[in-house]
Structure 1
């Protein structure tokens, strides 16, 4: 049984909430899987902040699925 931790992901520059996300495992949040997003405050898994326009992630292919790789220092999260 996998234990999920719910995180709130914020923009690093304007503090706008981007996602509520179910994270599995330990360590820092590196990539965002679209199927684990509980609530998306961006426009359809967009990689720019809707408030300030800052690019916080890059879309890449991971094991056959498109995921958002978060750019270091552009986001922060809280429980």
Structure 2
């Protein structure tokens, strides 16, 4: 991952997930996921590292390789959030990832 997220805050009971493009399998984001449920949204304070610079990024999250739209930008609990488009991303649990 190219960019570390300066807004990342460590949370208890989370584990790192690698989110990649469903079309070309390019890794896009390392995300701190909590709980057992499906991945619906990416909250910016929980994004550990990303392929695109989130500070300068405007609008929806696009794949850096194939330019496919993966998530749309919005808000949730006063946090900037990317709402995932169903079926557009793959996720994989990452073991031994150090923040």
User: Please, what TM-score do these two structures have when normalized by structure 2?
Assistant: 0.73
Corresponding residue to 1:38 among 32, 48, 68: 48
Shift of 1:2: 3.3
Q: Where does the alignment leave 5 or more consecutive residues of structure 1 unmatched? A: none
Moved over 3 A (4+): none
Q: Where does the alignment leave 5 or more consecutive residues of structure 2 unmatched? A: 1-10, 94-99
What corresponds to 1:50 in structure 2? 64
1:65 pairs with 2:79:
yes
- In our comparison, the structure showing a higher alpha carbon Rg is 2
Alignment length (residue pairs): 79
CA contact (8 A) 1:43 1:50 kept: no
CA contact (8 A) 1:56 1:70 kept: yes
CA contact (8 A) 1:34 1:67 kept: yes
Shift of 1:49: 0.6
Corresponding residue to 1:4 among 4, 9, 14: 14
What corresponds to 2:7 in structure 1? none
User: Please, what TM-score do these two structures have when normalized by structure 1?
Assistant: 0.90
